[in-house]
Structure 1
Amino acid sequence: MERKTLAIVGCGRLATIIADALNSNLLPEYQLVATYSRTLEKAQRIAEMVNSESQKDNPCKACTSIDELLAAKPNYIIEAASPDSMRALALPALKNGSSIVTLSIGAFADENFYEEVKQTALANNVRVHLVSGAIGGFDVMRTAALMGNCTATFDTEKGPNSLRRYAVYDESLQTEKRTVFKGNAKEAIALFPNSVNVSVAASLASVGPEKMKVSVTSTPGYIGDNHRIEVKNEQVRAVIDVYSSTAQIAGWSVVNELRNIVSPIVF
């Protein structure tokens, strides 16, 4: 069996999960051929993880540039870096003939970028896979939206330390529970570019970034993230409530998507 080739852009904790899945034979249909990250050391670490175990005979290359990674002509590129990285990567990768599996769905809150990516993928017979990350229920969200007259809300609860890098943070959040944001998904990803990708994902699966109502609540001492999505129309009301203490679920959602791509039965 000829294996499909993978590359990874963004070699942090989530890339480690994918490398572990390859080494554990959870992705036997794939071979990792290239890695890239902002620092070469991170790319080398992920490459070495598979080179020392499951790919001793077919080593993965740690790349020093996106161009070098694209030269490997991977069938799929896993993007686990940031919305800015996704914006820079998407069009060159698709024109290169590589499909993309991305966690940085916040990039698609920009309708013009979304449409350009869609048309480029169509023109080059490749796809962009938006993985579930830290949420789920895309199927029921899309179904409810297709039925018409659909509304959707996305409420997330976080600890204050996860908000330190953003303008909404102040020290009073360490002792006071407070809703720090209310708006739509497009506004949310602009304010929290690396923390509410899942709200954009849910919006794209349902009512769109400008119609998805989003709130972010900070709770003192809170560990992890709790995301609650409600989608309803005249006939259906669906609630998806997902708590995760760490970001690992996002990495495993990539593994699940890769398995679905090659499975004869798809969930």
Structure 2
Amino acid sequence: MNIGIIGAGTIATFLLTEIEKQPAENLSVKSLYVRDIDKYRKLSEDCGVQLFNHFDSFLDSDIDIVIEAANITAVQELIPRALEKKEAAIISIGALSDDTFLEHIMSLANRYNHSIYLPSGAIGGMDLIQNAGALGELDEVSLTTRKPAHSLNEQSLKQEKIIFQGTAFEAIRKFPKNINVSIILSLAGVGIHQTKVTIIADPDIQTNQHKVEAKGAFGTFSSTIENNPMPSNPKTSFLAALSILGTLRKLQSDLKIGI
């Protein structure tokens, strides 16, 4: 599978490096779409990847799938165009909190017979949540996210504080850079307006922690994860980067677990 990536930041560099280490997996990053080619010239030379700043030329290059690894604006502006020609994977899933936009790209995917892949990011258990709701009998899904106080601009806190309680729809609008995980959870489960979200600022922790809980005809489910940051960028979850690589490997594997 030949891969094209929108962006050349932490996650794109991680994918370039890790995929290059495993050439036997039939995964290869061929193209990067960037705004400034000169800025990433060395990256191109080191990794043997072609740079593009013209999106149509990028799409027409030797790639099978487009990975968005940039930001919400890139999703909104570029993914609809990408779906006309290629499969696509979206990392900045906060863009999908807009119901109209989500319906639009799903319509495009159907029209052009291309799939949209959403890596699970910094949380797990999405296959269980989807399975639990297969008959529409998933009653409740909630997310409790605990973050270092300074990352939420609450540096003066001496003890933990709940800074938000509401729906995933409300959360992503108030904290667009901090709670993307609520969107993937909503899409897997009961929807953005029904998924309950609590955000806690905690001065005593250094990593992000996410607790997912669900209840329905299947029974009950609870899962907690504490995310380590990327060694190269403390603002990016290591698991979020790994989930993209894991998704690509699943697409190539003859044994597809949890799908």
TM-score normalised by structure 2 residue count: 0.89
Q: How does 1:49-64 map to 2 (within 5 A)?
A: 49-51=46-48, 60-64=49-53
| Conservation of the 8 A alpha-carbon contact between 1:159 and 1:219 | yes
Deviation at 1:85, TM superposition (A): 1.6
Return the alpha-carbon distance in structure 2 between the equivalents of residues 191 and 33 of structure 1.
37
Cα distance in 1 between the residues matched to 2:39 and 2:174: 28
Partner of 1:146: 134
Moved over 6 A (4+): none
TM-aligned CA deviation for residue 222 of structure 1: 2.1
Shift in alpha-carbon separation, 1:130–1:73, aligned structure 2, 3 A: same
Which of residues 242, 245, 249 in structure 2 aligns to 1:255? 245
Aligned positions of 1:180-191 closer than 5 A:
180-191=163-174
Deviation at 1:141, TM superposition (A): 0.2
User: For 2:51 and 2:253, how far apart are their aligned partners in 1?
Assistant: 28
Deviation of 1:28 after TM superposition, in Å, equals 2.9
Aligned counterparts of 1:50 and 1:180: Cα–Cα separation in 2: 43
In structure 1, the residue matched to 2:33 is 36
Distance 1:49 1:252, change over 3 A: farther
Could you tell me whether the CA contact under 8 Å between 1:102 and 1:131 is conserved in 2? yes
1:126 alignment partner, one of 110, 114, 122: 114
Counterpart contact for 1:22–1:50, Cα < 8 Å: no
Change (3 A) 1:200 1:46: farther
| Equivalence for 1:57 | none
Hey, what does 1:99 align to over in structure 2? 87
**CA shift for structure 1 position 70:** 2.1
* Residues 86-235 of structure 1 mapped to structure 2, 5 A cutoff: 86-95=75-84, 97-147=85-135, 148-163=137-152, 169-173=153-157, 175-235=158-218
Shift of 1:41: 5.4
Please tell me whether the aligned partners of residues 154 and 201 of structure 2 are also in contact (alpha carbons under 8 angstroms): no
CA distance in 2, matches of 1:38, 1:195: 25
Residue by residue, what CA displacement relative to the aligned partner does 1:108-160 show, whole Å, maximum 9, x if unpaired? 11111111111100111111100011111111101112241421001101112
Equivalence for 2:18: 21
Q: Cα deviation per residue 1:10-32 (whole Å; 9 max; x = unaligned)?
A: 22211122112211116631222
State the alpha-carbon separation in 1 of the partners of residues 121 and 193 from structure 2. 21
Structure 1 residue ranges without an equivalent (≥5): 52-59, 164-168
Q: 2:68 aligns with which of 61, 73, 79?
A: 79
Farther off after superposition, 83-92 or 66-75: 66-75
The 1:16–1:265 alpha-carbon spacing in structure 2 relative to 1, beyond 3 Å, is same
Matched position secondary structure for 1:139 = helix
The reply to whether residue 236 of structure 1 matches residue 211 of structure 2 is no
Q: Which moved more, 1:7-16 or 1:24-33?
A: 24-33
Contact 1:82 1:194 in 2 (8 A): no
TM-score w.r.t. the length of structure 1 is 0.86
**How far is 1:9 from its partner?**
1.1
| Contact 1:99 1:126 (8 Å CA) reproduced | yes
Gaps of 5+ in 2: 230-236
Q: Provide the C-alpha distance between the structure 2 equivalents of 1:194 and 1:37, rounded to a whole number of angstroms.
A: 21
Question: Residue type matched to 1:64 in 2?
Answer: N
Return the letter of the residue paired with 1:92.
R
